[in-house]
């Protein structure tokens, strides 16, 4: 079975045709439980998310801030495995028909086996992977297998990336480019910052791929701000925080569904 990179591209193109940014939601697999994480992914789709990133929990994350680290710890203590991540992808995609990616550090894939992981992710209906710590110059084996199985390879660019480096990264990627709006780890912030707009402009100068902005967006006002210059708005910590703060799981599902609806309005660029 081939993966769903084309569905990912079509979804981003459809949002552009509607003169809006796509809403991309991030949630870690296995949080608060495997079944609970699947329900949360379905809830954000129900609320209006266009794309979901399923996080593969890692014990030593380099990009994730304290909110997502807390959720990852809960998932890891619950015994989450790669099979559970793939099940989350499968069930979220089957329920929604919308693109689902995995966001993961490289080590778990390397240990699991690149061919095995790409084949199983494609079989689950996955659209691709976001690989924040895989250097482009070391990505040839991954990209070969991902392309063979119809999966996108999303690389992360940052404000510190020089133009020449941006061109190298975007030439190797597919699906979209993940633009980190600022230096540092994930988490909600008061302001997304002007550096994000500059980074999107510089990235677009090197590629036809859509550019989606993440790190820091937590509410509809910020989503609207980013949607004015980006092809997609990525929100993670705000969803996870809603789940963490909820008094029970049902309330958490309601909270993330409502946040997705608010953000979906924000990305629509209405005056």
Name the residues annotated as catalytic. 53, 64
Q: Strand, coil or helix: what is 154?
A: strand
Q: Strand, coil or helix: what is 76?
A: helix
Task: Name 206's Cβ contacts closer than 8 Å, sequence gap at least 6.
Answer: 163, 166, 167, 170, 171
Query: In whole angstroms, what is the distance from residue 7 CA to residue 207 CA?
Result: 19
Query: In whole angstroms, what is the distance from residue 55 CA to residue 74 CA?
Result: 13
What residue ranges in 110-176 does DSSP mark as E strands?
Answer: 128-130, 152-154, 156-157
Handedness of CA 250, 255, 257, 258 (dihedral sign): positive
What residue ranges in 56-147 does DSSP mark as E strands?
Answer: 100-103, 128-130
Residue of 47, 13, 12 whose CA lies nearest to 27: 47
What residue ranges in the chain does DSSP mark as E strands?
Answer: 22-28, 51-55, 100-103, 128-130, 152-154, 156-157, 177-180, 211-214, 232-235
Handedness of CA 104, 105, 107, 113 (dihedral sign): positive
């Amino acid at each position: 079975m081939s993966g769903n990179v084309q569905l990912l591209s079509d979804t981003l193109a459809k949002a552009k045709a509607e003169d809006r940014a796509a809403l991309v939601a991030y949630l870690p697999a296995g949080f608060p439980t495997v079944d609970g994480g699947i329900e949360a992914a379905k809830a954000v789709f129900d609320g209006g998310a266009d794309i979901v990133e399923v996080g593969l929990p890692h014990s030593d994350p380099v990009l994730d801030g304290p909110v997502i680290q807390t959720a990852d710890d809960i998932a890891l203590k619950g015994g989450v495995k790669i099979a559970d991540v793939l099940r989350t992808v499968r069930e979220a995609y089957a329920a929604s028909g919308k693109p689902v990616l995995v966001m993961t550090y490289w080590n778990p894939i390397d240990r699991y086996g690149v061919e095995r992981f790409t084949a199983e992710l494609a079989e689950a209906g996955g659209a691709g992977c976001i690989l924040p710590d895989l250097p482009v110059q070391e990505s040839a084996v991954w990209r070969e297998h991902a392309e063979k199985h119809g999966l996108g390879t999303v690389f992360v660019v940052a404000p510190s990336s020089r133009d020449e480096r941006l061109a190298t990264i975007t030439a190797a990627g597919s699906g979209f480019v993940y633009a980190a709006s600022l230096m540092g780890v994930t988490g909600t912030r008061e302001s997304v910052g002007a550096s994000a707009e500059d980074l999107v402009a510089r990235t677009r100068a090197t590629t036809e791929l859509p550019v989606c902005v993440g790190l820091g967006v937590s509410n509809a006002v910020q989503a609207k701000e980013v949607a004015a210059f980006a092809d997609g708005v990525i929100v993670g910590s705000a969803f996870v925080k809603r789940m963490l703060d909820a008094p029970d799981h049902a309330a958490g599902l309601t909270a993330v569904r409502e946040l997705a609806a608010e953000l979906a309005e924000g990305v629509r660029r209405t005056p």
